[in-house]
Amino acid sequence: MNNCLLIDFGSTYTKLTAVDLEQEEILGTAKAKTTIDTSIMEGFELAKKNLIQDYNLENTIFHHHYACSSARGGFRMVAIGLSPTLTTEAAKRAALGAGTRILKVFSYGLKEKDVREIEDLSPDIILVCGGTNGGNQVGIVNDIKQLSTLKKTFPIVVAGNEETYSTIEDILKKTSHPYYLTENVMPQVNILNAQPTREILRTIFMEKIVEAKGMGTAEKEIGQILMPTPTAVLRAAELLAKGTNKEPGLDDVLIIDIGGATTDLHSVGDGKPRNPEIRVEGLQEPFVKRTVEGDLGMRYSALSLLEAVTPKAFTNYLPIEEEDIIESCTYRSTHPNFVSTNKKDISFDETMGKIAIETAFNRHAGSYRREPTPSRIVYYQSGKDLGYFKTVIGTGGILVHSQQAKEMMSACLKKENDLFLKPVNPDFYLDATYILSAMGLLAEEFPEIALRIMKKFLVQL
Domain residue limits, the chain: 3-71+212-223, 75-207, 238-446
Which residues of the chain are under the pLDDT cut of 50? none
Give the pLDDT of residue 211: 59
3-71+212-223 and 75-207 agree in CATH topology: no
Q: How far apart are CA 385 and CA 322, in angstroms?
A: 34
Query: Tens of pLDDT along 219-244?
Result: 666 766 677 788 888 899 999 999 99
Cα dist from 319 to 10, 46, 211, 324, whole Å: 36, 43, 49, 10
> Do residues 202 and 225 lie in contact, with contact meaning Cβ atoms separated by under 8 Å?
no
- Could you tell me how far CA 281 lies from the centroid of its own chain? 24
Q: How far apart are CA 90 and CA 88, in angstroms?
A: 5
Domain 75-207: CATH superfamily is Cobalamin-binding domain (3.40.50.280)
Q: How far apart are CA 340 and CA 359, in angstroms?
A: 23
* CATH number belonging to domain 3-71+212-223: 3.30.420.40
DSSP secondary-structure letter at 275? Answer: S
* Beta-carbon count within 10 A of 144 CB: 26
Query: Tens of pLDDT along 247-299?
Result: 999 999 999 999 888 898 999 999 999 888 889 888 888 898 988 887 888 99
The helix/strand/coil state of 278 is: coil
Give the pLDDT of residue 95: 74
DSSP secondary-structure letter at 78? Answer: E
Give the pLDDT of residue 194: 83
